[in-house]
């Protein structure tokens, strides 16, 4: 292997393109993966605008998840070998020929699963677990509202909640077709937010114990209204704005928790904790086919500009990927 590699590079006011960059090297706890597939996330779009820089020490290349084959391992790595097919989460670097991943953020790709399928798993599974199951402490029998129910995160949240015994899974989506797709995955109540009032529908259904939101804006107040007494509301993004005028009195009267999280900048030990919980609680369902990645479209790496344009428009269902093939 040479000392350089290709990667998707960003130049101001120019379309994304492949360029030659320095190839990364492993730290003691890292593996170097030859990337076959990389997943797209909205964080990539925000990073490209200069509003979400990578954490200190992370790759400046976009891409928070990938799947591929291990080509070298760090001195302190155990349980992984050159040639293993893996997928994993990283703080940056996925849109490239090679990427470095901490061993605690790796998953072994199941036999028979393609690189594309595997590349659609790490970020969504770890985000859903970190927010719904860890931060909001989901318990079997609870009702959950998921905004963006046909996004990559939304489609995975439906399946993980179904596996974990949710009493009622409610989602919002932007079309009748998307609502149908969510229902096929296991959603119990689907709400077309362009035509229906999710706040009233959820209240009529008895309210939500947990609400996962990436919209923000006026959804913040509506979420407070739609939550049950003792409910938990977690924001993972604010696509309609993070500065809002909110009446907090219902928050107090209903004893709600309003919180938010990010995943990218967490310490590697915390990401390993999340990975280990997924392996214990949900990976068996992945192996059995009970949980499946939902893929909207796969582009080749030199079509990264078209892929990000597709993501930004928001019409997709499931994950958008970059692939070598």
Structural contact between residues 235 and 14, judged by C-beta atoms closer than 8 angstroms: no
Section 27-51 average pLDDT: 97
Domains observed in the chain: 4-121+293-323 (3.90.180.10), 125-260 (3.40.50.720)
Q: Which residues are CB-neighbours of 263 under 8 A, at least 6 positions away?
A: 89, 123, 126, 127, 130, 271, 274
Angle at which helices 152-164 and 176-185 cross, to 10°:
30
81, burial (CB in 10 Å: exposed 0-12, middle 13-18, buried 19+): exposed
From the list 208, 210, 152, 212, the residue with the least C-alpha distance to 181 is 152
For position 325, what pLDDT does the model report? 80
Residue 2 pLDDT: 65
What pLDDT shows up at residue 235?
98
Q: 225-252 pLDDT, tens per residue?
A: 999 999 999 999 999 999 999 999 999 9
Residue 62's nearest CA partner among 18, 30, 29, 26 is 18
pLDDT band at 188 (very low <50, low <70, confident <90, very high): very high
pLDDT in the model for residue 271: 98
pLDDT digits (tens, 9 = 90+) for 137-179: 999 999 999 999 999 999 999 999 999 999 999 999 999 999 9
- DSSP conformation class of 85: E
For 321, residues 6+ apart whose C-beta sits below 8 A from its C-beta are 37, 38, 39, 40, 116, 119, 120, 295, 297, 298, 299, 307
Percentage of the chain beyond pLDDT 70 is: 99
E strand or H helix that includes residue 299 = strand 295-300
pLDDT digits (tens, 9 = 90+) for 49-103: 999 999 999 999 999 999 999 999 999 999 999 999 999 999 999 999 999 999 9
Mean pLDDT of the chain: 97
State the average pLDDT over residues 189-212: 98
Q: What does residue 192 show for φ and ψ, rounded to 5 degrees?
A: -80, 100
């Amino acid at each position: 292997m040479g000392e350089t590699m290709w990667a998707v590079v960003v130049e101001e006011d120019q379309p994304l393109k492949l360029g030659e960059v320095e190839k990364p090297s492993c730290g003691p706890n890292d593996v170097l993966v030859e990337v076959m597939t990389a997943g797209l996330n909205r964080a990539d779009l925000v990073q490209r605008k200069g509003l979400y820089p990578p954490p200190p020490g992370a790759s400046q290349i976009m891409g928070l998840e990938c799947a591929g084959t291990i080509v070298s391992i760090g001195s302190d790595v155990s349980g992984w070998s050159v040639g293993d097919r893996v997928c994993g989460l990283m703080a940056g670097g996925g849109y490239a020929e090679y990427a470095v991943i901490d061993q605690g953020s790796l998953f072994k790709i199941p036999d028979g699963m393609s690189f594309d399928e595997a590349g659609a798993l790490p970020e969504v599974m770890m985000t859903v677990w970190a927010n719904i199951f860890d931060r909001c402490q989901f318990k079997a029998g609870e009702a959950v509202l998921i905004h963006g129910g046909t996004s990559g995160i939304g489609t995975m949240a439906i399946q993980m909640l179904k596996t974990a015994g949710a009493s009622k899974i409610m989602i919002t989506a932007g079309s009748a077709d998307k609502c149908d797709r969510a229902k096929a995955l296991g959603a119990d109540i689907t709400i077309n937010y362009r035509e229906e009032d999710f706040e009233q529908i959820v209240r009529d259904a008895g309210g939500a114990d947990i609400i996962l939101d990436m919209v923000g804006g006026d959804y913040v107040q509506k979420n407070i209204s739609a939550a049950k007494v003792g409910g938990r509301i977690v924001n993972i993004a604010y696509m309609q704005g993070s500065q809002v005028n909110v009446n907090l009195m219902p928050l107090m009267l209903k004893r709600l928790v309003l919180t938010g999280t990010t995943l990218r900048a967490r310490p590697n030990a915390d990401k390993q904790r999340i990975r280990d919980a997924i392996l214990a609680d949900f990976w068996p369902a992945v192996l059995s086919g009970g949980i499946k990645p939902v893929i909207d479209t796969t582009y080749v790496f030199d079509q990264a500009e078209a892929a990000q344009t597709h993501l930004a428009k928001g019409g997709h269902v499931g994950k958008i990927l970059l692939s070598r093939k």
